Structure 1
Amino acid sequence: MITLKGIDPRMIANNLTPYEPTHPGEILKEEIESRGISQRKLAAQMGVAYSVLNEVL
């Protein structure tokens, strides 16, 4: 761990904890399920092909 006088150790890049970002498809899938709509209906409302939305999910 690197320390610098007067600097919060959590603000130093080498001391940051890496994390795994959430895939956009996970967020969309949760929303689809919670709203009770189908992937086809969402694709139509978004104006994209079902196959394109399905690839993201």
Structure 2
Amino acid sequence: MASAIKKSLAASALSQSHTKKQTGAEMEHKASEVLHSNKYSKETKTLAASVLAQSNKERKAK
């Protein structure tokens, strides 16, 4: 059974697929927490990385 965070990350990644949409700040924060935690599976961390790869690059530069 998929966790709520895993479902949320998957939904975010899929909603941005083949679009110019970018990850919002709140989802970036959740994805970052997943990557820095030991309690999530490799699959969940892969989704988190995908979400962060679609993040707003300009916001990070500020």
Q: TM-score, normalised by structure 2?
A: 0.29
- Higher RCO (CA < 8 A, seq sep 6+): 2
Q: TM-score, normalised by structure 1?
A: 0.30
